[in-house]
Amino acid sequence: MSTISKYRDKFKVSIRRKFHKPIYKTFSRYDDAKSWASDSERKLEKGFYEDLTEANKTSLADVLEKYGKEKVPEKKSQETPRYMIKKISNHSIGKSTLTNLTTFKLIKYRDEIASVRTKSTANKYITLISVALKTAINEWGIYLPKNPAYDVPRLEEKKKITRILVNGEYDRLLPHASSSKLYFLKAMIIVAYESGARRGELIKLLDRNVNWQKSTALLLDTKTNVDREIALSPKAVEALRSVPPTISGQFFPVKSKEQFRFYWNQCKKKAGIIDLKFHSLRHMFVTLKLEQGWSIAEISAQTGHADLKSLQTYQHIRPKHLVKKFSNG
């Protein structure tokens, strides 16, 4: 049953039904209030009523904040989604209520990100928003007729192939890494180059997980969720021993991706190198070991690739190696 009460110059509609939470809405005109009340009661009778009360008072930033507290801790990698949540919440789109959040607004936001970052990054932001809204609708009981992020087309991403190091780039990197304020950068580069370990695996590596006698390291909490033991070359062992001990036991206590990216880019710039990712060191390891005659199975055991097909993307056969093949023939 609906009631209309007047307060000052406004008319407040209250609809109360058994097994349904109360519905309220305020109008400036009595006729509008009466019409809305009648229409809403008809919809309730037929089960078609769309209660946007929560959506009207909930912003995108509110949803993302709750998502960050409840869902992000369940993820393996938390730093990136937390960073993205902060960026979205501080943007004007984060202040939009869910009822005012449209597909068109999200497309504009996607394009804004793509203009200063990559298309891939823009797509990731939209995906995060979409997943958070889906959670709000399905798990938190916030009604929306439709998730506005569903219809945001993802931008076509140009597939980038991670290149390997060329023309003495490795030797050019090391002196500048040695003088970096990130004191362990040189050692980290050497261990990555010599072992093929991922950056995240090296950051998590603890001194207690290194067997100095056997020259091996146990990598825990890896990308594939499988712990693995890797071999360490004499140069990798030497690099690890050169790092001062830390209270945490980490060899490479990186504070954040942003911190590491800053010093890595600084090192590259000083060395006169562009378009080189830290991940290229891993690609270089695979390339060198193939040229040295390691089997695919041996390389896979060291690098932790889940399947041999994914390892194929790391194969960079260098022309000079093929020239040697002709010479040996």
How many structural domains is the chain composed of?
A: 3
Q: CA-to-CA distance for 188 and 171, rounded, in angstroms?
A: 14
Enter the tokens of residue 155.
């931008």
Place of tokens 């009981």: 141
Domain boundary among 10, 33, 49: 49
Q: How many CA atoms lie within 13 A of 49 on its CB side?
A: 20
What does the longest C-alpha to C-alpha distance in the chain come to?
A: 98
Residue 76's domain comprises 57-139
Enter the tokens of residue 133.
């809204």
Q: Which helix (H) or strand (E) holds 299?
A: helix 296-303
**pLDDT score recorded for residue 295:** 84
3-state secondary structure 233-290: CHHHHHHHHCCCCCCCCECCCCCCHHHHHHHHHHHHHHHCCCCCCCCHHHHHHHHHHH
Question: Do residues 135 and 221 both lie within one domain?
Answer: no
In a domain, 151, yes or no: no
Domain boundary among 31, 49, 67: 49
Q: Which has the closest alpha carbon to 223: 202, 248, 249?
A: 202
Question: Do residues 42 and 63 both lie within one domain?
Answer: no
In a domain, 240, yes or no: yes
Question: Do residues 71 and 198 both lie within one domain?
Answer: no
**pLDDT score recorded for residue 195:** 95
Secondary-structure breakdown of the chain: helix, strand, coil percentages, each rounded to the nearest 5: 55, 10, 35
Domain boundary among 84, 119, 139: 139
Tens digits of pLDDT across the chain (329 residues): 688 888 788 888 887 766 566 777 788 899 988 887 888 777 776 665 567 778 888 999 999 999 999 999 887 778 889 999 999 999 999 999 998 999 999 999 999 999 999 899 999 999 999 999 999 988 887 878 789 999 999 998 877 777 888 889 999 999 999 999 999 999 999 999 999 999 999 999 999 999 999 999 999 888 777 889 999 999 999 999 999 999 999 999 999 888 999 999 999 999 999 889 999 999 999 888 888 888 888 888 899 876 666 666 655 655 565 445 545 55
Question: Do residues 135 and 31 both lie within one domain?
Answer: no
Going from the C-alpha of 133 to that of each of 59, 130, 138, the distances in angstroms are: 11, 5, 9
Question: Do residues 234 and 116 both lie within one domain?
Answer: no
Phi, psi for residue 26 in degrees, rounded to 5: -115, 140
Question: Do residues 208 and 114 both lie within one domain?
Answer: no
**pLDDT score recorded for residue 165:** 86
**pLDDT score recorded for residue 56:** 86
In a domain, 315, yes or no: yes
Q: CA-to-CA distance for 214 and 206, rounded, in angstroms?
A: 16
DSSP 25-90: EEESSHHHHHHHHHHHHHHHHHT-----HHHHH-BHHHHHHHHHHHTGGGSS--HHHHHHHHHHHH
In a domain, 163, yes or no: no
Question: Do residues 62 and 177 both lie within one domain?
Answer: no
Place of tokens 């050497």: 190
**pLDDT score recorded for residue 92:** 94
Question: Do residues 173 and 104 both lie within one domain?
Answer: no
In a domain, 79, yes or no: yes
Question: Do residues 62 and 45 both lie within one domain?
Answer: no
Question: Do residues 215 and 252 both lie within one domain?
Answer: yes
Q: CA-to-CA distance for 88 and 125, rounded, in angstroms?
A: 8
Question: Do residues 72 and 38 both lie within one domain?
Answer: no
In a domain, 149, yes or no: no
Global pTM reads 0.63
| CATH code, domain carrying 207 | 1.10.443.10
Enter the tokens of residue 228.
């693995």
In a domain, 7, yes or no: yes
| Number of Cβ atoms within 10 Å of the Cβ of 247 | 6
Q: CA-to-CA distance for 19 and 282, rounded, in angstroms?
A: 60
Question: Do residues 188 and 299 both lie within one domain?
Answer: yes
Going from the C-alpha of 33 to that of each of 6, 72, 297, the distances in angstroms are: 10, 42, 73
In a domain, 152, yes or no: no
Q: Which has the closest alpha carbon to 15: 28, 4, 27?
A: 4
